[in-house]
Each structure stands twice: as structure tokens, then as C-alpha cells.
A and B are shown apart, each in its own frame.
Chain A
Amino acid sequence: METYDAVVIGGGVIGTSIAYRLAETRHVLLVEKTDIGAQTSGACDKAIFLQSKKPGFPIKLAKASRQIYENLEEELETSIEFHKGGGMIVIEDEDHIEFMESFVKKQQKAGIDVTLLDSKEARSIQPSLAEYIVGATYSKEDAEVNPLKLSQAFAQAAKRRGVDIRTHTEVIDIDIQNGKVVGVKTTSGYIATELVVNAGGPFAGKIAEMAGVGLTIMPRRGVILISEKINPMIFGNILCSQYIAAKHQTDEENKKKPPYGIGLSLGQTKSGNLLIGGSREFKGFQKAINDEILAAIARHATRIAPAIKPIRIIRSMVGFRPYTGDGLPIIDKVEGVEGFVIAAGHEGDGIALAPITGKLVVSLVENRKEDQSLLKPLQFKRLKAV
């Protein structure tokens, strides 16, 4: 019988980051039902925003993760196209000014280097923007990474540390005896282990069910358009205040919300393609989309950045972001099922939070004291209580 010290379920940015860290002291198996980074982690944008995070704990967590990014390329010994290109949140609407002003103040208080620009200043940084915009917030600290390379880089570095990676292998059941994990049943056989980490992203609920644990993580569908390659025209990443409003306000507060939960997320990859997002909807795991969503995303983006209008869209991608309800992931052990750890529910912050998630899972299973302040707000019971 095959035996491992730990089995990580899920080969996205979260699972590969965890496997890499756990391998410092353990013999780890990573099981992925499709391919590395092929699901949620392969259908997202590239931005690592700090300024868009909620003031308070979310900022603290994002900063801790961002800190790891500073030296991650050297650590993983490969390029992940990490680049401090800066980030901008465009304010389209006078109505959003007040909300954004107070948002910026809170961010500055939290130690984020962010400033409020008027329309002209914003357009001097991003010449593609429309003249009518009211202003923008700007931070040099915002960065970006190639998410496809990130999962691969973590996976390769994990392999070098002795992690076995089994792709196209699905977990069918989690074997629990006397309240303890003893193994997992997969489509390629049984694996004995005393530690299972559920990094299934939007599929984490299904995996938790196999351990008899009720976990509600909903798939929140996001659509992103991809353009042909062009010379550099978008510098750093751009969000619109609608995106922030959609992310942080309730529907009640955000009355002017556009259809399909659309908010701009615009950036240009190193190879020249524009990534134009995006929508936020609850549609189960339905991957088929209608042409109206695509057109609505394009309309919203070209209104804010008219210069991208003549650029050809070559395809679109659909991702399912793991939604917990309060904008934070769950990184916790499960009471009553010894050896079962959940590390999922990062929604749209998976790329930003992948580095810290790996470290936190290690702290958690090693019962280290130093990360308790970061782990406590991510406990499972906060959501169970609702």
C-alpha cells in the first residue's frame, strides 16, 4: 500500500503552494483531477492588488502574502513574471467619489501607499483611459504575476522537494476511522495518510463531504476576455470603482450595479495580450455563457478605456471562484475529523494569497504560535456560525 505523510487535494495555485511548503518536512502527494493550474487558477487575471483589499485583517493578510512574492522567483528558481507595475482604480462616477475617498483614507491608515488622482493625472499614467473619468486611486505597490507560471513554478519546486504529483486523478473518498483520517481513495488507487489538505477551490465542498464535513463554498462564475497581442498600451493593472463596490458593498448599497456583476479588471500580459474582466455571477458550474455577457464586459471596458476598442478579442475564459460569503478563505483544521485541513475559498484573491496560504497551512499543522493572528480570522467556525 502507498503511504504518504500528507495528501494535498487540488493542483491550483493554492494546492501547489501548500504541497511545496509541506514538503519541507513531509513526504507529500498532490492529487489533481485535471491538470496543474487548469481550473480556477488558469482562468483568472494576473493582478496582485493590495489597495483593493478591505481595510483591516484582509489588508494584513494580503500584505503578508505580498511580502513573500518579493523573493518568490529566486526561491522557486524560475520566472513567474512578477512585476511591480502599479495599480489603478478608476472612478467613473461622481457617486463613487465619496466612497473611494474614505476607502483611500482607510487604506493609507493601514500603511498602503495609495493616492487619489484627478482625471488628468490618471490619464497621464494610463493614456488609454476615457476623458470623462472623474479620477482614480493609484498605488505603486500593486503588482502582477503570470498565474499559469505560478502554479507550474510551485509544482516544479514541490517536485524538486520530493512531492509526487498525480494529475488526471480524482479523489473518490476519504477514509476516516475513529474520527481520524487514515487514507484517501483515488481513481488510481488507495493512499494511506494521516493528513489530508482540501485545496479544492470551488470543489472543496464536494471533497469535504467525503470526510463527512459540511462546507459551503459556492462557485462564483467569472468571465474574462482575452485580446490579440499588441504593443504595450496598458501599464500595470486597472480596476474600476464599480469593481470595488461590487466586491465590498451589498447589493442594497451598490444600487447602480451593472448586469452580470460586471466590474472592470484590465491588464496586459508580458506577451502582449489584454486580459479584460470581468463578471461575477452565481450560476453553479455552468461553463456555457451567452454572447450578451461577453458584449457587456467589452462595452464596460471600452467605455472606460476607449483606446482598446480597435483591438481584436481572440477568446474568453470562464473560471469558478470559490466563494465563502465573507471574502476570506478558510484555512483551518476540522474539529472532530483529525488530520483533515481545509485551505480553500479564496474567491478572487487566490493569486494574491497563494504564497501565504502555503505557509499558513504549515503553521497550522505544526501548531506554530507565530501565525496565530493570521489564522484565527480564517477559522472554519466563523462561517458555520452564520
Chain B
Amino acid sequence: MRIADHPILGKQRKREVTITFNGTSYTALEGESIAAALLANNIRTLRYSEIAKSPRALYCGIGHCFECRVTVDGVRSKRACITTVKDGMFISSQGVDSP
């Protein structure tokens, strides 16, 4: 899903980092958001709704709608769309087992 060579913006060189999402490790690029990193790894579903338990994901992309909230290194409800990945970051979905 990555755009390796953009016709106008060209290539992008970024250091690789490793993140963990729901127990599985993934490669991400330094400086990108959690949502972008997971999408690049073909992962869309970030959490489950509280009542119906339906899968939810990135929506507005600018930190406004809070649909993409995830628990990051133990802190609840960080917005995956505006939280930058860091090497060794531990991310988990909300709405399943944890409150």
C-alpha cells in the first residue's frame, strides 16, 4: 500500500522502526502516524465499538473524530491518526477485553 515513488513528490527515505499491534510486530517508518503505519501493513481495524462491538478505523485523519483511538504504551485513547510511531511502541485495540 506504500507509494514508493510519487511522480511529483519523488521517493521518500525514512528509517524503519518496529511497532507491536495487538501482540504482533510490524515494520513502520519513522515519523509516520500509527494509522498510516498499520494501513501500510494492510491493517484497517483499530478498535471495536463499545456496545455493538463493530470494527472501527481511521475516519477523519486529523484528530477530530476520535474513531481511531487506541491504547499506546498503556495510555488509553491516543488517536492513531496523529500519534507518531516510535521504535518499540506497544499498541492495542480498545473495546474488546480492556475497557
Contacts and interface: CB of A to CB of B under 8 A. Distances in A.
A230 B66 contact: no
Contacts of B69: 228
A265 to B, nearest CB: 21
B76 A229 contact: no
A306 to B, nearest CB: 14
A312 interface: yes
A312 B95 contact: no
Contact residues of A: prevailing secondary structure: loop
B99 A228 contact: no
B9 interface: no
B4 interface: no
B51 A230 contact: no
B91 to A, nearest CB: 16
Of the four ranges (under 10, 10 to 19, 20 to 34, 35 or more), the interface on chain A belongs to: 10 to 19
A65 B11 CA distance: 70
Secondary structure class of chain B's binding surface, majority of residues:
loop
A231 B75 contact: no
Interface residues of B, number: 11
A228 B51 contact: no
Interface in A226-271: 228-231, 233, 270-271
Contacts of B95: 231
Given A229-B50, A230-B50, A312 B76 contact: yes
Nearest to A231: B99
B77 interface: yes
A272 interface: yes
Contacts of A383: none
A301 B66 CA distance: 24
Interface string B36-71: 000000000000011100000000000000100100
22 contacts: A228-B66, A228-B77, A229-B49, A229-B50, A229-B51, A230-B50, A230-B99, A231-B50, A231-B95, A231-B98, A231-B99, A233-B99, A270-B51, A271-B50, A271-B51, A272-B50, A310-B75, A310-B76, A311-B76, A311-B99, A312-B77, A314-B66
Interface of A: 228-231, 233, 270-272, 310-312, 314
> What 8 A-B pairs come out closest when comparing CB atoms?
A272-B50, A231-B99, A229-B50, A230-B99, A312-B77, A310-B76, A233-B99, A228-B77
